Amino acid sequence: MKDSEIITDLLLTEKKMSNNYSTYASECTNTKLRDAFVDILTQGHRTQTKLYETAQQKGWYSVTQAQPQQIQQVEQKFSNQAPNVN
């Protein structure tokens, strides 16, 4: 495997595990266990950030800046879908 493929595999694994730990934490009734899942989830997010940064530095992952108009459109879209909580 090439280094870029290894980073991609690690990143996909971390993303899947983060989804799992988020589910476990939200469904957990034991406070200490829930806190442990949240700690693991936080570490997973840190690892994902490091993997993304490595991929960007190597030129394997590029991000284009969104234009202000695009940001505004997305904000409007999701603000219209937000539930009204009183």
pLDDT in tens, 26-48: 999 999 999 999 999 999 999 99
Alpha-carbon torsion (61, 67, 72, 74), positive or negative: negative
Tell me the mean pLDDT in the region 13-34: 96
**Mean pLDDT computed over every residue of the chain:** 92
Cβ-proximal residues to 9 (8 Å cutoff; 6+ apart), any chain: 1
pLDDT of residue 81: 74
pTM attached to this predicted model: 0.71
Residue 52 has pLDDT above 70, yes or no: yes
DSSP 8-state code for residue 29:
-
